[in-house]
Structure 1
């Protein structure tokens, strides 16, 4: 199983990345996560949002669910890449130092977080 970000946070986000060809797969994964796990499923964005370099859907969950959610996502993502980060209020650190990947890593557009 992938390594948890180095600090334990109260909240986490997992962003499921997809492209037009994998939209249906991402929708199904997000819907299943909402039914089977203690996560809040955000909108499925068919456009770039925030620092994310791909279309995405956000899952929000508590630290108590971290191991279950990450294990489930890793086992069920079927080739989709997932970006996971803690939520501390420091967006730059959350998307860099407090982050991990399931699948292939992508470069985020961090310009919006520059201090």
Structure 2
């Protein structure tokens, strides 16, 4: 490779350039997802998988107690389908500040369990569909119980006073 070729590569890949898009309004800067849900799924009739899910939940609770991360595992474990969730599940609320640590933990420790991860915004249907990601196999969800738009304050179940609603 000649010096001119290397200069061309360096310029093309490393040289700063002027942005081609300008910020038209503050929405690009101010709009940010503040809260997330991790839904851990298990086949409730499969005792081995159910135990794996409950052990993972106990580990989350222990790590919260030790201050490893600040998430809120719901105390309710759904042993039957509920809402859009087709099988046994429980959810863990996570603030954006601890998302990377929670995502890393679940990625490394989920075993064979499937986990749905979605943001919490005023658009529950969109959050559970086009904004959702899966660790492990995805599951078909029943979206009929989800509203297009939530009326009311944004936050983790304001009536429960959890998360930013606290």
TM-score, structure 1 length as denominator?
0.88
Contact 1:17 1:80 in 2 (8 A): yes
Bigger fraction of residues in helix: 2
Q: Unaligned 5+ residue runs, structure 1?
A: 1-6
Aligned to 2:59: 32
TM-score, structure 2 length as denominator?
0.62
Aligned-pair CA distance for 1:98: 1.5
Task: Specify the structure having the higher radius of gyration (Cα).
Answer: 2
Cα RMSD between the aligned structures? 1.5
Aligned to 1:84: 117
Bigger fraction of residues in strand: 1
Aligned residues: 109
Q: List 4+ stretches of structure 1 deviating above 4 A.
A: none
Greater RCO (CA < 8 Å, at least 6 residues apart) = 1
For the structure 1 residues 91 and 114, does the alpha-carbon distance in structure 2 shift closer, same or farther, using more than 3 Å as the test?
closer
Contact 2:116 2:133 in 1 (8 A): yes
Aligned to 1:104: 137
